[in-house]
Structure 1
Amino acid sequence: MALNLYIVNSMNDNTHKESEINSAQLDQFRDLMISLMRCCQERNQYQCERFELPDAELRCLLQFEDEHYLTPKTIALRMNIAKSRVTRIVDGLRQKSLVKRSSDPEDSRISLLSLTPKGKQQLEEIVDFMAETHRSVLEQFSQEQRQTLINSLGSLKLSMEAIKERMI
């Protein structure tokens, strides 16, 4: 017995088209999403081991990629965690001499967090590693396939964000 679902697709041309989704497609999509998530989790675990950082500390460090200073509140919002959890994560990064804390000159109640020179070097190594990993993946595809992949992933991202908004 086929499971018939309908989806409205307005990602590419803003027109609403209904297309039937059969149970085989649904199962295949689910399995692919689970496999992709598992693959990303395994790569993330490898990164954590390679850079000798717990997952939360590595993700926190990545928040500084395009930032000079961050507040604990900003980090909490970006990482979707409690501010008290940020304090523990930052303490771990401070113990490793990757992050330093200072007071905001305009409001001493606010803590500003920034990378130390060691933290900047560590972040650069992580970003370079991630870029090389992504380059290696893309090299598996022809130029035309790469563009199709990027377009499809962009559409998937938009669709997932739209669904997430409806869930909130």
Structure 2
Amino acid sequence: MFQSHKFLLTPAELRCLLLFHNEKYLTVKGIAQKLEVAKSRVTKIMEGLLNKKLVQSIDDPEDARVKLFSLTTSGLKKTSEIDNFIKEIHNELLMNLKPEDRKSVLHSLELLRSSMKVVKAKLF
């Protein structure tokens, strides 16, 4: 993923952190499904994020075999920095377009997003 080194993260760690946007807790299985990688790969990614103190883990109170991961205060700060960076890049890209082209691009992106939702709903 673009500029992961800017945040002292691997591309996989950056992608993983961004999964926590609307989630308080994630499991290895859930992360593996969202990233479309093996659970063993997620374990390695989470070790890196734990070592960087960006996530923490607790035992699932309903199943001690399952670990629940959540962002630490540092992890929340890092995801906010990443979000702001992404927004800045997107804004800069759009501002380099003429206003009429910008409107057209945004409309096309919205059409694409709607179409992707329909296809995703059919597949899953």
Q: TM-score, normalised by structure 1?
A: 0.64
Secondary structure of 1:68's partner? Answer: coil
Percent pairwise identity: 43
Secondary structure of 2:80's partner? Answer: helix
Match of 2:85 among 129, 132, 139: 129
- Identify the structure with bigger relative contact order (alpha carbons < 8 Å, sequence gap 6+): 2
Q: Does 1:51 align with 2:7?
A: yes
Q: Does 1:79 align with 2:35?
A: yes
Tell me what 2:26 maps to: 70
Match of 1:96 among 52, 64, 68: 52
Q: Which runs of 5+ in 2 are unaligned?
A: none
Equivalent AA in structure 2 for residue 138 of structure 1? L
CA RMSD in angstroms comes to 2.4
Q: Which runs of 5+ in 1 are unaligned?
A: 1-40
Secondary structure of 1:67's partner? Answer: coil
Paired residues in the alignment total 122
Match of 2:70 among 108, 114, 120: 114
Q: Which has the larger radius of gyration?
A: 1
Which ranges of 4 or more aligned residues in structure 1 deviate by more than 2 Å?
141-147, 153-159
Match of 1:155 among 111, 120, 124: 111
CA-CA distance at 1:109 after TM superposition: 1.9
CA-CA distance at 1:144 after TM superposition: 3.5
Q: TM-score, normalised by structure 2?
A: 0.85
CA-CA distance at 1:104 after TM superposition: 1.2
